[in-house]
C-alpha cells in the first residue's frame, strides 16, 4: 500500500511517499507555492491514502487540498490526540497541540523508545519533552532565527539585517545579532534538557529537525541526533497504525 504523507509548515511543505513502511520518495515545496507541490505529486504513483499535518492555516489547507491526487479514501487531516502510537499527551487540551508537534513526538518515540527532547527548528522553534514512559510532558515555542532577526530589524533603529557569524565573544554588530540568535535557540533547548534530566534522573537525547537544525546542532550539549523530516516519520507511524 502506498501512503502519501504531507507536513504543511509556515514556510515549506514537506512530503513523502511510503510503501510498506519504506520511503519511496521525499521532497518539498514552498508553502506559498502549492502548485509546485501539485506538479511533484503528479509524477508519483497514485497513493492509496493521504495523511496531512497542517499548521499553516485554513487558506493553506484549501490550496493544498486543491492539488492533491484523487484517492479512494479522502485525505485525512491530522488532529492531535490524547494517546496514539504509544505516546500519551499531557496537554490540557490535546487537540490544541500542533499536529506537527504531535507527529514529531510519535516519530521520536518510534526512533528512540526513551526519554528525549524533540526540537523542530523552523519558522518557529518547538522544544518538547518526552519521558521514558512515552508521556509528552509539555514544551515551549520560541521565534525561529529569521523571526528573531526580523524583529530586531523592524523594531530597533540600528539593528537592520546584516551578515554575521557565530562567535563566543562577538566584536561587531552582525556577529552579535547572529550569535545572540543561536544562543537564544540553543539555550531554550538546554533548559528543557535540564528540566527533563532533573525530573527523570538521566540525561535525555535530543532529536533535532527543521531547516535551522544546522545553526544550533553544535551548540547543544549532550547526545544530539539530527533527523530529517521527523514529522513525516511520525505521520508514517500514525498511518501504519490505522491500517
pLDDT digits (tens, 9 = 90+) for 46-96: 999 999 999 999 999 999 999 999 887 889 999 999 999 999 999 999 999
* pLDDT the model gives residue 45: 92
pLDDT tens-digit map of 32-42:
999 999 999 99
Three-state secondary-structure class, residue 220: coil
Local confidence band at 19 (pLDDT 50, 70, 90 cut-offs): very high
Domains contained in the chain, CATH given: 2-77 (3.30.420.40), 83-145+174-229 (3.30.420.40)
Q: Element (H or E) spanning 20, and its range?
A: none
Give the helix ranges, DSSP H, for the chain: 34-42, 58-67, 99-112, 145-155, 173-200, 213-216, 230-242
Three-state secondary-structure class, residue 11: coil
Q: Is there a contact between 220 and 212 (Cβ–Cβ < 8 Å)?
A: no
Q: How many CB atoms lie within 10 A of CB 75?
A: 17
d(CA 14, CA 34): 11
* pLDDT the model gives residue 183: 96
Q: Measuring CA to CA, which residue among 6, 226, 32, 12 is closest to residue 120?
A: 226
Local confidence band at 152 (pLDDT 50, 70, 90 cut-offs): very high
Local confidence band at 243 (pLDDT 50, 70, 90 cut-offs): low
pLDDT tens-digit map of 200-233:
888 999 999 999 999 999 999 889 999 999 999 9
Which residues are known catalytic residues? 100
pTM above 0.85, yes or no: yes
Amino acid at each position: 500500500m502506498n501512503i502519501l504523507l504531507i507536513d504543511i509548515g509556515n514556510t515549506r511543505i514537506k512530503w513523502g511517499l511510503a510503501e510498506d513502511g519504506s520511503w519511496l520518495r521525499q521532497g518539498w515545496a514552498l508553502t506559498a507555492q502549492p502548485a509546485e507541490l501539485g506538479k511533484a505529486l503528479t509524477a508519483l504513483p497514485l497513493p492509496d491514502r493521504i495523511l496531512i499535518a497542517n499548521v499553516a492555516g485554513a487558506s493553506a489547507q484549501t490550496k493544498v487540498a486543491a492539488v492533491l491526487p484523487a484517492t479512494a479514501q479522502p485525505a485525512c487531516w491530522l488532529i492531535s490526540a490524547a494517546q496514539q502510537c504509544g505516546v500519551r499527551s499531557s496537554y490540557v487540551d490535546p487537540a490544541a497541540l500542533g499536529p506537527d508537534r504531535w507527529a514529531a513526538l510519535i516519530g521520536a518515540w518510534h526512533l528512540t523508545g526513551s526519554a528525549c527532547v524533540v526540537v523542530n527548528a523552523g519558522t518557529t522553534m518547538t522544544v518538547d519533552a518526552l519521558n521514558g514512559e512515552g508521556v509528552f510532558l509539555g514544551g515551549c515555542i520560541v521565534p525561529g532565527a529569521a523571526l528573531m532577526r526580523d524583529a530586531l530589524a523592524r523594531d530597533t533603529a540600528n539593528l537592520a539585517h546584516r551578515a554575521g557569524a557565530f562567535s563566543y565573544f562577538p566584536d561587531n554588530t552582525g556577529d552579535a545579532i547572529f550569535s545572540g540568535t543561536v544562543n537564544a535557540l540553543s539555550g531554550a533547548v538546554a533548559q528543557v534538557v535540564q528540566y527533563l534530566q532533573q525530573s527523570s534522573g538521566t540525561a535525555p537525547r535530543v532529536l533535532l529537525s527543521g531547516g535551522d537544525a544546522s545553526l544550533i546542532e553544535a551548540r547543544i550539549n549532550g547526545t544530539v541526533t539530527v533527523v530529517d523530516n521527523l514529522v513525516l516519520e511520525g505521520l508514517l507511524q500514525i498511518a501504519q497504525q490505522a491500517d
